């Protein structure tokens, strides 16, 4: 083995701490950025929040404040996009074969019962900080159970899933308890009591039982109650399939009576357990705002999530006057860190603003007319327009939100794939989804549009896509096929 010494000339890219910090700040959301800024303020005594944001260099009076980047972007109609100076100022149990289509039988939210409820207590309809099991345990403790029945009730509650369904049979619950003195009849009796806990219908073994339990709470003189019970007991599969013609033939009900009974069924909740689930609210702070003024779209950063930072000049001046070398190094080190941090924030804000302006310019049709006017756009389109790498565009559009007259959207929302049309053109996948939703919302529910018919209607508007493309996006939006959207 020979040892030798060699000299090589070469170039190597080194990521400096400043660059690492700038990249890290770029990918933070507004909430995370505020936390990062707060931590920096607590750790660095030379950083402070200043409304004027006048930052002077320690060697000369260079202004290092976060200056307002102003960008004028020419739009397609020769108008200008201005940037204002903001910086300065329900799944069902698996054993049910119809669980993928039953959602369409119900309304979006459970309605109030069509008839009065026997009990004076009203069903729980709001959000809670406790989970379903805690809610049921609380009711169990208020119910006069014997010691044995209380143990059975606990075992039953533990076998209930988040949607409110029993995941084990009564035989399995009895076996798991391991108490030979407890009979199956006792478990069944306790189960029936729990099934009338709030929310009513909880601990049901299947969908049919869940809905029938809820109907049992209605007054006997509730209109169409008898027909609704008969439909659930005998023809649940036909209701799920929306096979109304067969239903009328088998039940001999008139169309009007069948419709009224189904409307009553639609007031029930197929997933009662979801009514009692802790809700984790997510808050979004928009990073940029967009609005139209005098025919031009204005884009600005949100000043509420972009605090103005500056250097504490009193501490900075002490770097020259302190006699202790360690104190001087401490101040100078924190001074440099403060400048890097402010510069990284400035870079983040300028990049975010530049990308937001480019998105507004590119998707101006969306801001004017809505989703149907969305253009196909990928990361590379914006990267080339602003002369940045795709990875930078990905970072700056992730967890960043834009407040628009049409709502609040993540910047990534404006990116959609190019869908080739039959005539060789291109269309945005978002626009195709919007057209499908619009057609389904306006269709005659007695004669829903087929995928082929929707493809034909889109072709009349200049969007020539195949039927299978319509089916793919319809399924992605959880819109059932035409035969399952049919109603009386």
Higher-confidence position of 432 and 67: 432
Residue 120 lies in a domain: yes
Q: Are residues 234 and 258 in the same domain?
A: yes
In a domain, 6, yes or no: no
pLDDT at residue 264 tops 50:
yes
- Structure-token pair, residue 189: 């009796």
Q: Are 293 and 33 in contact (CB under 8 A)?
A: no
430 has a pLDDT exceeding 70: yes
Percent of the chain with pLDDT over 70: 80
Give 357's pLDDT tier (boundaries 50, 70, 90).
Answer: very high
Task: Please report the DSSP string for 35-65 in residue order.
Answer: HHHHHHHHH-TTEEE-SS---B-SSS--B-S
Q: Across the chain, what does the average pLDDT equal?
A: 80
Q: Work out the end-to-end distance of the chain between its first and last CA atoms, rounded to an integer number of angstroms.
A: 89
| Residue 10: inside a domain | no
Q: Which pLDDT value is given to residue 12?
A: 61
Comparing 42-46, 168-172, 231-235, 355-359, the range with the smallest average pLDDT is 42-46
Q: How confident is the model at residue 473 (pLDDT cuts 50, 70, 90)?
A: confident
Q: What pLDDT sits at residue 165?
A: 95
d(CA 340, CA 331): 14
Res 230: pLDDT:
95
User: Residue 5 falls within a domain, yes or no?
Assistant: no
Q: Residue 409: is its pLDDT beyond 90?
A: yes
Pairwise CA distance, residues 228 & 223, whole Å: 10
- Domain-embedded: residue 459: yes
pLDDT value at residue 334: 87
Boundary-marking domain end, from 275, 302, 324: 275
Beta-bridge mates of residue 290: 299
pLDDT at 386 over 60: yes
Say if residues 226 and 258 touch (Cβ distance below 8 Å).
no
Instruction: Return d(Cα 337, Cα 460) in angstroms, integer.
Output: 61
Q: Which of 275, 300, 323 is the last residue of a domain?
A: 275
Nearest to 395 by CA among 16, 18, 23, 37: 23
**Maximum average pLDDT range among 53-57, 214-218, 328-332:** 214-218
Q: What is the DSSP letter of 103?
A: G
Spatial separation of the C-alpha atoms in residues 417 and 427, rounded to whole Å: 8
Query: Do residue 205 and residue 170 come from a single domain?
Result: yes
Closest C-alpha to 454, from 424, 479, 419, 417: 479
DSSP tag of 372 = G
Is 242 part of any domain? yes
Which of 390, 413, 436 terminates a domain? The answer is: 413
Domain co-membership, 289 together with 423: no
The distance of Cα 312 from the centroid of its chain, to the nearest Å, equals 41
Give yes or no: residues 342 and 253 share one domain: no
Residues 121, 269 within the same domain? yes
Q: Residue 13 has what pLDDT?
A: 57
Query: pLDDT-derived band of residue 352, with 50, 70 and 90 as boundaries?
Result: very high
Burial class of residue 181 in the structure, from the number of CB atoms within 10 Å of its CB (0-12 exposed, 13-18 middle, 19+ buried): exposed
Whether residue 441 sits in one domain with residue 366: no
Using 50, 70 and 90 to split pLDDT, how confident is the model at 96? very low
Mean pLDDT along residues 6-28: 75
The total number of structural domains that make up the chain: 3
Flag whether pLDDT at 197 surpasses 60: yes
How many beta carbons lie within 10 A of that of residue 430, not counting itself?
24
- Is 2 part of a structural domain of the chain? no
Report yes or no: 390 and 383 within 8 Å, Cβ to Cβ.
Answer: yes
pLDDT at 23: 83
Residues 427, 405 share a domain? no
Q: Are residues 241 and 265 in the same domain?
A: yes
Q: Strand, coil or helix: what is 277?
A: coil
Environment class of 476 (CB within 10 Å of its CB; exposed 0-12, middle 13-18, buried 19+)? exposed
CA dist 302 and 403 (Å) reads 9
Q: Identify whether the C-beta of residue 379 lies closer than 8 Å to the C-beta of residue 60.
A: no
Q: Is the pLDDT of residue 149 over 90?
A: yes
Alpha-carbon gap, residue 237 to 97, rounded angstroms: 9
pLDDT, average across residues 463-468: 84
Q: Using one digit for the tens of pLDDT, what is the confidence trace for 105-148?
A: 444 334 334 343 344 444 444 444 578 999 999 999 999 999 99
Contact 92, 207 (CB under 8 A): yes
Q: Are residues 288 and 266 in the same domain?
A: no
Domain that holds residue 459: 417-485
Please, which pLDDT band fits residue 424 given cuts at 50, 70 and 90?
low
In this prediction, residue 363 carries a pLDDT of 92
Q: Tens digits of per-residue pLDDT, 204-228?
A: 999 999 999 999 999 989 999 999 9
Cis before 167? omega within 30: no
Its pTM stands at 0.59
Residues 83 and 158 occupy one common structural domain: no
Secondary structure class of 419 (helix, strand, coil): strand
Predicted confidence at residue 328, as pLDDT, reads 80
In this structure, is the dihedral angle defined by the CA atoms of residues 384, 388, 389 and 394, taken in order, positive or negative?
negative
Give the pLDDT band of residue 279 (cuts 50, 70, 90).
low
Res. 199 pLDDT band, cuts 50 70 90: very high
**Does position 421 have pLDDT exceeding 50, yes or no?**
yes
Q: 130 and 72 in one domain?
A: no
The first and second tokens of residue 319, run together, are 């770097």
Distance CA(301)–CA(382), nearest Å, equals 18
Percent of the residues in the chain that have a pLDDT greater than 90, as a whole number: 40
Q: Decide: 477 and 436 in contact? Cβ < 8 Å.
A: yes
Task: Name the band, by pLDDT with cuts 50, 70 and 90, for residue 420.
Answer: low
Say which DSSP state 302 is in.
Answer: -
* Domain membership flag for residue 8: no
Q: Give Cα 456 distance to the centre of its chain.
A: 32
What pLDDT shows up at residue 459? Answer: 85
Q: Are residues 148 and 212 in the same domain?
A: yes
């Amino acid at each position: 083995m020979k040892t030798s010494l060699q000299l090589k000339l070469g170039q190597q890219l080194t990521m400096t701490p400043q660059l690492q910090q700038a990249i890290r700040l770029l990918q933070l959301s507004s909430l995370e950025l505020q936390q990062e800024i707060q931590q920096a303020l607590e750790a660095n005594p030379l950083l402070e929040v200043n409304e004027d944001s006048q930052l002077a260099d320690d060697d000369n009076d260079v202004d290092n404040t976060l200056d307002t980047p102003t960008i004028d972007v020419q739009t397609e109609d020769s108008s200008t996009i201005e940037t204002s100076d903001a910086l300065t100022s329900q799944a069902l149990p698996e054993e049910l074969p119809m669980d993928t289509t039953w959602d369409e039988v119900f309304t979006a939210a459970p309605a109030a019962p069509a008839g009065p409820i026997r009990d004076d207590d009203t069903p729980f309809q709001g959000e809670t900080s406790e989970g379903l099991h805690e809610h049921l345990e609380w009711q169990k403790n208020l119910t006069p159970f014997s010691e044995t029945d209380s143990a059975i009730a606990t075992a039953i509650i533990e076998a209930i899933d988040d949607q409110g369904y029993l995941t084990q049979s009564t035989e399995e619950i009895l076996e798991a308890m391991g108490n030979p003195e407890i009979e199956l009849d006792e478990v069944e009796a306790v189960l029936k009591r729990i099934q009338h806990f709030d929310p009513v219908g909880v601990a049901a073994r299947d969908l049919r039982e869940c809905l029938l339990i809820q109907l049992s709470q209605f007054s006997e003189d509730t209109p169409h109650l008898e027909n609704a019970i008969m439909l659930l007991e005998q023809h649940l599969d036909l209701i799920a399939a929306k096979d109304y013609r067969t239903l009328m033939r088998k039940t001999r009900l008139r169309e009007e009576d069948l419709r009224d009974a189904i409307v009553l069924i639609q007031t029930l909740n197929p997933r009662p357990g979801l009514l009692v689930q802790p809700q984790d609210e997510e808050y979004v702070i928009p990073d940029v705002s967009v609005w139209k003024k005098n025919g031009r779209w204005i884009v600005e950063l949100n000043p509420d999530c972009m605090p103005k930072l500056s250097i504490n000049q009193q501490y900075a001046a002490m770097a020259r006057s302190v006699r202790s070398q360690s104190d001087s190094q401490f101040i100078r080190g924190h001074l440099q860190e403060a400048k890097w941090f402010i510069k990284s924030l400035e870079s983040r804000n300028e990049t975010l603003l530049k990308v937001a302006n480019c998105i507004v310019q590119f998707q101006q049709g969306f801001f004017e007319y809505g989703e149907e006017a969305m253009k196909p756009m990928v990361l590379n389109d914006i990267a080339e327009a602003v002369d940045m790498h795709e990875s930078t565009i990905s970072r700056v559009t992730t967890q960043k939100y834009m407040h628009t007259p049409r709502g609040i959207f993540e910047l990534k929302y404006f990116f959609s794939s190019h869908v080739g049309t039959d005539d060789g053109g291109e269309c945005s996948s978002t626009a195709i989804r919007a057209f499908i939703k619009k057609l389904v919302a306006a269709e005659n529910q007695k004669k829903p549009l087929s995928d082929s018919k929707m493809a034909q209607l889109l072709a009349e508007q200049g969007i020539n896509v195949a039927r299978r493309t319509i089916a793919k996006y319809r399924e992605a939006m959880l819109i059932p096929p035409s035969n399952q959207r049919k109603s009386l």
